[in-house]
Amino acid sequence: MPELPEVETIRRSLEPRVLGRRFVRTEVFDPAAVLSPCDPLRLDRELRGRRVTELARRGKYLIFRLDGGSLVIHLRMTGVLLLDGGAEGCRVRFELDDGSRLLFCDRRRLGGLWLVEDESSVVGRLGPEPLEDSFTPELLGDILRGRRAPIKAVLLDQEAIAGLGNMYADEALFLSGVHPLRRACEVTPEELGRLHRAIRSVLEAGIRAQGASVETYRLPDGTPGGAQLLFKVAHRAGHPCPVCGAAIERVSIRNRGAYFCPRCQK
């Protein structure tokens, strides 16, 4: 569930607490959380003494850049990172040299982490970052061109655009008036401009509201975000559309629920 705004919120919140700190001890409670190529039994020894030089984000991945290699974390559906607090399903606990503890908890155990020398082995195939200046309407047009899949499916493709997930893609499509089942290649130039603006505005609003706590997402201090309160269609099946009053509908696109207004979105 955590998408770009949630991971960026976690990054901004953790950055002042972890920057310059060294890992002193790592406890792996669930070896399956440590993903290939690193050995869960060696994670503590490998991380010990390494210092965090930068906390970065790429798409939905959080990247601890170290003085030698990177620790990359993906939260998938239910992962959370908590400072000095616990939650259900704690998988890995990191202790830093100021005594603070960072816990990676993950009820459904779908997320994971990698300790790698070169982070591009994990994040190298991701598409462009939608909030960077280089993400222009022209670039979005290039991404959609020739794709016959539903626009919603293309927006969720992390190799097409990095960081958009189910909630913010639904919101962006609603804001731009585009039906989630439209073929990506059939979006008109005018709709493309609206969609480009909408993608950026929903992501920026999500970050300002510190992410959406629809399910398990929490900030590292355990508090919920507020972006779910801004949602107009996401997870709102049956509620009235805030523009026209029609009931919000849900369809399944490649096993993911897509929420939309049947009247406002063409």
Which residues does the annotation mark as catalytic?
2-3, 60, 256
- With CB under 5 A as the contact rule, the residue among 32, 185, 243, 247 that binds Zn ion is 243
Binding range to Zn ion, per CB under 5 A, among 18-26, 146-154, 222-230, 236-244: 236-244
Smallest separation (angstroms) from Zn ion to the CB of 243 = 4
Distance in angstroms (rounded) separating the CA atoms of residues 42 and 212: 35
Residue nearest to Zn ion (CB): 241
Which residue among 96, 202, 241, 248 contacts Zn ion (CB under 5 A)?
241
Shortest Cβ 177–Zn ion spacing (Å): 9
Q: Which is nearer to Zn ion, 103 or 264 (CB)?
A: 264
244 binds Zn ion (CB under 5 A): yes
Q: Is 105 in the site for Zn ion (CB under 5 A)?
A: no
Q: Tell me how many residues contact Zn ion (CB under 5 A).
A: 7
Residue number, 146 or 245, with CB nearest to Zn ion: 245
Does the protein bind Zn ion through residue 247 (CB under 5 A)? no
Q: Which residues bind Zn ion (CB under 5 A)?
A: 241, 243-244, 246, 261, 263-264
